[in-house]
Structure 1
Amino acid sequence: MAPQLQTAPPPDARSVRAVAATSLTAALLLLLAALSPFGAAALAVPPGAVTVHDTTGTVDSTGLSEDLAQVDFRREVDLVVLVVDVTDHGHSSAEDTALNDTVRDVAQEDLTELLSADGDHFADGTVIIALDPDNRFLGTYAGEDVKLSDDGFSAVQDAMRGDARDADWEATLEAGAEKYAALLDRPWWQHPVSLVAAAVAACAAAATGIGILGLRRGARRRVDEALPRYGEVLSRREITDSAARTLPATSPYAQAVLRQHETYTEQISTAERLHADLPVEQDRTWGWGFSSEQRRIAHEFSSTVESLDEAEGEIIAAADLLHRIGQWRAAWDRELEPLRDSLTQLDELTADPGADGASPEEEAALAELRALGEDASAEMDSLTARLEADEIDPDSALEALDTLTRELSAAVARLQGHRINHLAEDEEEAEVLREAAEEVEDSDYRTLRGRRHVLESPAGQDQFWNLSPVLWYASWRHESTGALDIYRNPPSSSGSTSGYSGGGFSGAGSSSRF
C-alpha cells in the first residue's frame, strides 16, 4: 500500500459549514447596507434651462438640447454646452489652459449670463460642459453652489473621453452631463470610497466562507481528474518507451523527441512520488485539501500528469511518422498545419492592404510572398503524395517543409521591413514598430519541426523564423499599427488643468485632453 500523507486532524465538518454560512450572511448584510437607498435624494430634477453654444458647427444643437433636457439632476441647474475652437479665441492649443481661457472669454464676451454679479466666478446654479473637437480638449465648469471637487470635475471628463476619442460628439456631451448629474449632491453612501469599503468588507467575509470550501474542493477535483489520466499514462508507458527506443538515431528530428523522452522519464518519477503522497480514495478524509501542502501536491500532480499525457502522444506520433507506420498520416498533417494556416492568411492579407495602403516596395514583396505561397502549396501536395507512395523518406520530407518555412520567413522579414519603412516617419517610430513584434504570441503548434528548431537554434539569433510566418506577420501588422497609433496619440492622463492665464477670474472648473 502506498505510504499515507500525515496531516493535521481535519476541522469538524459542521464547524466549517457554520463558519462559511456565518461569513456569507455577513457579506450579504454588508452589501445590502452599502446598496440600500436610505438617504437618497427623492427628487430627479431636469435642467431648468439648456443652452447649446456651438461656434464650430459640430453638433446638432436642437437634438442635443432635447436629449440634455431629459438628464435628471438632484437639484435644478442651468445646463450649458460650449463647443468651441480655442484657436478662434486667440489661444494656442499647446497651452494646457487654452480651453479654460476660452470658456472664460465666451462668458465675458458673448454669454455674460454665465457670470456671477462680481464677474469673478460663474453664476450660481450654472453647470458648463465644454468641448473643443479639433484641438482635443474637454472641460467642466460650474457656479460656486453647484461645483464639484477637483476629482469630480476630472471624473466628468473621464466619462466623456471614450466617446470623444470615437468622435461621437453628441454622446460625449451627454456623457458629461449625465456624469455631472450623478456626482452633484451625491449621498455619502454612494461615494466610491464608501462603496469600496463596503465591497472590501463584503468580499473579505465572502472569501472567508467561499475560500474555506473552494480551495478544498479544487484540490480534490484536481486529484479526481488526474488519477484516471495517470493510470492511462502508466498503461501506455511501455508503448511510449518502446517508441522512443526505436527512433532512428541519425534523424535530427528524432534527437528532439529523444530529449523530450528524457523529460518524460523524469516526470514519470515525479508523478510516482506525488502519487505516493496522496491518500487512497477510501482513506481520504472529508477535510483533505484544506492544508496548503495538500493543495500543492494536488496541483503539482495534476499538472505533471497533464504534461505526461501530452508528451506520450507526441512521442508515439513522432515514431509513427519517422517510421511511416500506424497513425503517421495524422502526424504528417500536423507538420503541414502551420504552413497551411500561413497560406490561408496570405489570401486574407492580399485582400486587405491595411488602412495606410501599401508602398510599391510592399506590393512587390507581397507579390513575391504570393508566388512563394503558390509554390509552397504545390510542394506540400507533392510531398504528401510522394510520402504515401514511399518515394521519399520522412526526414527528407520534413527537411523540405523546413526549407519552405525558411523561404516564407525570409520573404515575410523583407515585407515587414518595407512596411516599417512605409509607416515610420523617423527612427523612433520604426523602433516602436519593431518592438511590437515582441507582443506577438507564437501559435501553439506542437510539431517535430518546431521542437528541432528549438533544440538546434542558438539563443538570440537575428534571422527571423516562424513555423507559420504569414500568420505571424498578420498578427504583427495588427499589433504594430495599434502601437504606432498609441505612440503618436498617447492617452491623456486623467489629471485636469485648472486655472486661467490671466488674473482676476477664479471660476470653478478644469479641462483636460482626450
Structure 2
Amino acid sequence: MASSLVTRTPPLDRLLQRSGALLALILALVLALQVMPPQPAHAVPPSSVTVTDTTGEVDPELLQARLKEIDFREDVQLAVVVLDVTEYDSDPAQDTALNDAVLAHARDTAPELLSEDGEHWAEGTVLLALDPTHRFLGTYGGEEVALDEGGFEAVQDAMRDDAADGRWADALEAGTQKYAGLLDRPWWRHPAVMTVAAVVVGVVLVLGGGALAGRRTARRRADSALARYEDVQQRRVQTDAAARSLPTTSPYAHAVLVAHQDFQQRLEKVEEMHDHLPAPQQRGWAWGLAGTERKLARSFEGTVRHLDEADDDIIATSDLLRRSGGWRTAWERELRPLRDSLSALDGALAGELAGEEVTEDEGGVSEQEAAAASEVRELGGDIAVELDSLTGQLEADRIDPDSALERLDTLTRELSAAVTRLRSGRISRMASDDEERELLEGAAADVEERGYRSVRGRRHALEHEASDSADVFWTLSPLLWYSNWSTQSATALETHRNPSAASGGGSTAGYSAAAGGFSGAGSSSRF
C-alpha cells in the first residue's frame, strides 16, 4: 500500500512547483498594486469646514481644526452637524428620523448645504451628522461627491465603535477619514480587486500548504489513536469481565450492558480500520495527502476515543454497583451534575428571589416566579445536605448503591420539576404575547446538556425512549440547564423585539413624506 502511494509523489511535486510559480506571480501583482500611486488626483484639505453642534457634545473649534487636516481627492466643502432629532419634530422611532432632521436643519438655518433647486445636497458638499441622544449616524453628499450606498454604510461603520463609546469627535473624524479614502478611490484600491487577488493567493496556498497540513494532521491523529487503541485492547478482558459481573437485580445494570454491546460493535469496526492503517514505519512520505487516508485517520481517532472512555465507564460503574475497586470515583461522577446545579444556584436565581419587596407592578418578578425561586432555593439546600448524607451512608455500608442512585434520581426529578415551575413563571413575566411565549419555550430546545458520563443519564435515556414521558422535563443538572436557558432565551427575545439592533442596524436611505420629494444622496443608521 505504501509503495503505491509513493508513486504519486512526482505529480505532487509538479503540482507544488506550478503552484509556487503561480503564487510568485500573484504576489508580484499584489505588490505592484500596493506600490502604484495611491491616488489619481491631488490630495487637498476641504476648501471649507463647518461644525454645527446644537447639543453641546463636541467642541466645534477643536473638531474643525482636526477635520481641516484630512485630505480629499476632490475639492469638497465639509459640514458636520450634531443635533437632537426631536428638536426638528422627527420621531426617533422612525429610521428616517436623522435624514429628516438634517434636511430640516439645512432648510431652516444652513441653506448653503442645499442645491439651488433645493432637491439635492449642494455641489461638492460632504455632510456628516450625529445624534448622540438617540444614537443615529448619518452621511450625505452632493451628487458629484456622493458615494454609493455601500460607501455611505462603510463611513457609518467607521464611526460606530467610537460613537458607541461616546467619543463623538473621534467618531466624526473617523467618518471623515473614511469618506476621504473612499471618494474617487483608484480601481486598484477597491476591496473587490484586492479580494480577488487574495482569493487567488488563498487557492494557491491551499493547494500547496493545505495538503501538507492535512498530511501532518492525519499522521498525528493516527499516531495518538494507535497508542489509545493498544490500551483499549489490553483492557478488553477487564471490560468484558466487568460487564459479566454486573448485579442482575440492579435497574442500572441494563444501561451498562447496552453500553457494553455498543462497545463490542464499535470495537469490531475499529479493528477493521486498524487493519487498513499502516504502522508509522510502514507509511510512505505521501501517506495522509489523500482524502481517504485523512478520513480513515479521523474516523479511527474518534472511534478509539469513544472506546477508551466507554471501557472506563463500564468498569467504573460495575465497581460502583458492586461497591468494589474504585467505586468512589464513579459515585462522585454521579454526584457531579447535582453539585454543578448547586454551584449555579445563585447565578441562576439572581434577581428572582425578591419576595414581597419587588412586585410585578414595579417591573420585578411576579409572585409566581418569586415563589418558584424560593422553592428552588430551599430544595437546593436540602439537596446539598442529602448528597453528603448519601455519601456517608455508602461509605458506612448503610445503604446499597442502587438505593443511593435511585435517591439521586428522585432529587433530580424534584429539582427538574421545580425548575419547570420557575421557567413557566419567567416566561409568563417576559412574554407579552403568544408568539413571544412560543419563542421562549422554543429556546429550551437549543440548550445542550453537558456531557456527563453518568449511568443515571444512560438509564433515563433508555427508559425515556420506551415511555411516553417526552413532555416531562428532566435533565441531569436542572439549575445549570436553567441558567443557560435564561441567557439564551433573553437573547432570543431581544433579537425578536429589536431585529435591526441584532443585525447591526442596516443603513436607511431616503426621507419621509414631509421632506417634499427631496432626493439628496445619503443614508443614516443607528449605533
**TM > 0.5:** yes
Q: In the aligned structure 1, how far is the partner of 2:68 from the partner of 2:319?
A: 74
Q: Which amino acid aligns with 1:509?
A: G
Q: Which amino acid aligns with 1:420?
A: I
The structural deviation recorded for 1:340 is 0.9
The structural deviation recorded for 1:176 is 3.1
**After alignment, is 80-89 or 218-227 more displaced?**
80-89
Q: Which residue of 2 aligns with 1:303?
A: 302
The structural deviation recorded for 1:170 is 5.1
**After alignment, is 113-122 or 368-377 more displaced?**
113-122
Q: Which residue of 2 aligns with 1:9?
A: 7
Q: Which amino acid aligns with 2:409?
A: D
Q: In the aligned structure 2, how far is the partner of 1:318 from the partner of 1:368?
A: 33
Going from structure 1 to structure 2, the CA distance change for 1:64 and 1:345 (only over 3 Å counts) comes to farther
Mapped contact 2:6–2:286 kept (Cα < 8 A)? no
Mapped contact 1:271–1:304 kept (Cα < 8 A)? yes
Structure 1 vs Structure 2 CA RMSD: 3.0
Q: Which residue of 2 aligns with 1:180?
A: 179
Q: Which amino acid aligns with 2:38?
A: A
Going from structure 1 to structure 2, the CA distance change for 1:334 and 1:174 (only over 3 Å counts) comes to farther
Mapped contact 2:337–2:452 kept (Cα < 8 A)? yes
Q: In the aligned structure 2, how far is the partner of 1:40 from the partner of 1:294?
A: 48
Q: Which amino acid aligns with 1:388?
A: E
**Secondary structure of the structure 1 residue equivalent to 2:522:** strand
**After alignment, is 404-413 or 143-152 more displaced?**
143-152
Q: Which residue of 2 aligns with 1:316?
A: 315
Match status 1:418 vs 2:431: no
Instruction: Structure 1: state its 5+ residue gaps.
Output: none
The structural deviation recorded for 1:87 is 4.5
Q: Which residue of 1 aligns with 2:335?
A: 336
Q: Which amino acid aligns with 2:495?
A: I
Q: Which residue of 2 aligns with 1:39?
A: 37
Mapped contact 2:149–2:522 kept (Cα < 8 A)? yes
**Secondary structure of the structure 2 residue equivalent to 1:252:** coil
TM-score relative to the length of structure 2: 0.87
Q: Which residue of 2 aligns with 1:54?
A: 53
Q: In the aligned structure 2, how far is the partner of 1:381 from the partner of 1:201?
A: 63
Q: In the aligned structure 2, how far is the partner of 1:57 from the partner of 1:29?
A: 51
The structural deviation recorded for 1:474 is 1.1
The structural deviation recorded for 1:73 is 4.0
Q: Which residue of 1 aligns with 2:149?
A: 150
The structural deviation recorded for 1:364 is 2.1
Q: In the aligned structure 2, how far is the partner of 1:407 from the partner of 1:153?
A: 57
Q: Which residue of 1 aligns with 2:476?
A: 467
Going from structure 1 to structure 2, the CA distance change for 1:342 and 1:72 (only over 3 Å counts) comes to farther
Where in structure 2 are the equivalents of 1:243-254 lying within 5 Å? 243-254=242-253
Match status 1:508 vs 2:521: yes
Q: In the aligned structure 2, how far is the partner of 1:241 from the partner of 1:108?
A: 87
The structural deviation recorded for 1:363 is 2.3
Match status 1:481 vs 2:490: yes
Mapped contact 1:5–1:279 kept (Cα < 8 A)? no
Q: In the aligned structure 2, how far is the partner of 1:67 from the partner of 1:486?
A: 38
Q: Which amino acid aligns with 2:510?
A: S
Where in structure 2 are the equivalents of 1:109-508 lying within 5 Å? 109-132=108-131, 137-161=136-160, 172-351=171-350, 353=352, 357-458=364-465, 461-491=470-500, 494-498=506-510, 501=513, 502-503=515-516, 505-508=518-521
Q: Percent identity?
A: 51
Q: In the aligned structure 1, how far is the partner of 2:72 from the partner of 2:46?
A: 7
Going from structure 1 to structure 2, the CA distance change for 1:353 and 1:164 (only over 3 Å counts) comes to farther
**Secondary structure of the structure 1 residue equivalent to 2:417:** helix
Q: In the aligned structure 1, how far is the partner of 2:84 from the partner of 2:50?
A: 18
The structural deviation recorded for 1:285 is 1.4
**Secondary structure of the structure 2 residue equivalent to 1:139:** strand
Mapped contact 2:121–2:143 kept (Cα < 8 A)? yes
TM-score relative to the length of structure 1: 0.89
Cα distance per residue 1:199-249 (max 9 Å; x no partner): 111101111111232222222222122111111111111111111111122
Q: In the aligned structure 1, how far is the partner of 2:368 from the partner of 2:175?
A: 47
Q: Which amino acid aligns with 1:261?
A: H
Q: In the aligned structure 2, how far is the partner of 1:247 from the partner of 1:381?
A: 26
Going from structure 1 to structure 2, the CA distance change for 1:300 and 1:457 (only over 3 Å counts) comes to same
**Secondary structure of the structure 1 residue equivalent to 2:422:** helix
Cα distance per residue 1:316-354 (max 9 Å; x no partner): 111111111111111111111111111111133445559
Mapped contact 1:230–1:305 kept (Cα < 8 A)? yes
The structural deviation recorded for 1:121 is 2.8
Going from structure 1 to structure 2, the CA distance change for 1:245 and 1:60 (only over 3 Å counts) comes to farther
**Secondary structure of the structure 2 residue equivalent to 1:123:** coil
Going from structure 1 to structure 2, the CA distance change for 1:391 and 1:139 (only over 3 Å counts) comes to same
Going from structure 1 to structure 2, the CA distance change for 1:441 and 1:23 (only over 3 Å counts) comes to farther
The structural deviation recorded for 1:85 is 4.1
The structural deviation recorded for 1:126 is 2.0
Q: Which residue of 1 aligns with 2:359?
A: none
Q: In the aligned structure 2, how far is the partner of 1:84 from the partner of 1:303?
A: 60
Moved over 6 A (4+): 3-6, 165-168
Q: In the aligned structure 1, how far is the partner of 2:443 from the partner of 2:74?
A: 50
Q: In the aligned structure 2, how far is the partner of 1:452 from the partner of 1:68?
A: 70
Mapped contact 1:158–1:494 kept (Cα < 8 A)? no
Going from structure 1 to structure 2, the CA distance change for 1:49 and 1:413 (only over 3 Å counts) comes to farther
Going from structure 1 to structure 2, the CA distance change for 1:105 and 1:186 (only over 3 Å counts) comes to same
Going from structure 1 to structure 2, the CA distance change for 1:191 and 1:400 (only over 3 Å counts) comes to same
The structural deviation recorded for 1:365 is 1.6
**After alignment, is 223-232 or 74-83 more displaced?**
74-83
The structural deviation recorded for 1:192 is 1.5
**Secondary structure of the structure 2 residue equivalent to 1:272:** helix
Mapped contact 1:26–1:205 kept (Cα < 8 A)? no
